[in-house]
Amino acid sequence: MDLAPALQLHDVSKRYGARWALVHLSLSLRRGAALLLTGHNGSGKTTLLRVLSTVVRPSSGRVEVLGVDAGAEPEKVRSQVGLLSHANFVYEDLSGLENLEVLARLLGMRVSAAPAALERVSLSPKDDRPIRTYSAGMRRRLALARLFLKQPAVALLDEPFVELDPAGVSELETRIRELRAAGTTLVLATHHIEQGLQLCTDRLHLEQGRSIAA
């Protein structure tokens, strides 16, 4: 039985006021593939990832994730997609473990899964300091832990290596390979093209919201 592609964009455009962030973008990515998304700052990479995650609704066009129309059934798509963005989506007054426990409860998962997700990114579940005391790198690791806790079928990573120390970068590369080995479809937006090419199978280059042959 043919399965629907992991991601399909049909002539998707997104406008913010007078500015077009995405212009007539079409894309098909098979399940289990890893797409490297490149482009200059402001080329539309982040907007594309946010459209795929259903956080942002496109101005026109259709998005399908694992065969599901994201416009018609966004909640169904969100259960299968994880987004690592520039923001970390955490509550400053809660500890790392507490943040993950909130997420676990909202996802209907066992709260006991939270400590393992923290340890996977080398954060201690026993650290009860609030997030506001964390360094930038630790916040990034916590954002990764959120992603791993969710175990999405499609993982969207927007500049994941930013703010990580060399050990953190190496660990993340290992985790990305683990995700791919588990069959997760990946979209990785990064300026580190050489690093991205080692981790990905396909590439999409954006310029001013349009797809350009890389």
Residues in contact with another protein by the rule CB under 8 A = 50, 53, 55-57, 75-76, 78-79, 81-83, 85, 87-93, 103, 106-107, 131, 139, 146
Partners of residue 187 on adjacent β-strands: 35, 156
Task: Give the nearer residue to another protein in terms of CB position, either 38 or 77.
Answer: 77
For the chain, the straight-line distance linking the first and the last C-alpha, in angstroms and rounded, comes to 33
CB of 130 to another protein, least distance (A): 12
The dihedral sign for the CA sequence 14, 15, 19, 23: positive
Task: Give the nearer residue to another protein in terms of CB position, either 38 or 50.
Answer: 50
CB of 79 to another protein, least distance (A): 4
Q: Tell me if 26 sits within 8 A of 12, measured CB to CB.
A: yes
Cβ neighbours of residue 155 closer than 8 Å, sequence gap 6 or more: 81, 82, 84, 147, 179, 184, 185, 186, 187
Task: Give the nearer residue to another protein in terms of CB position, either 25 or 196.
Answer: 25
Task: Give the nearer residue to another protein in terms of CB position, either 68 or 193.
Answer: 68
CB of 157 to another protein, least distance (A): 14
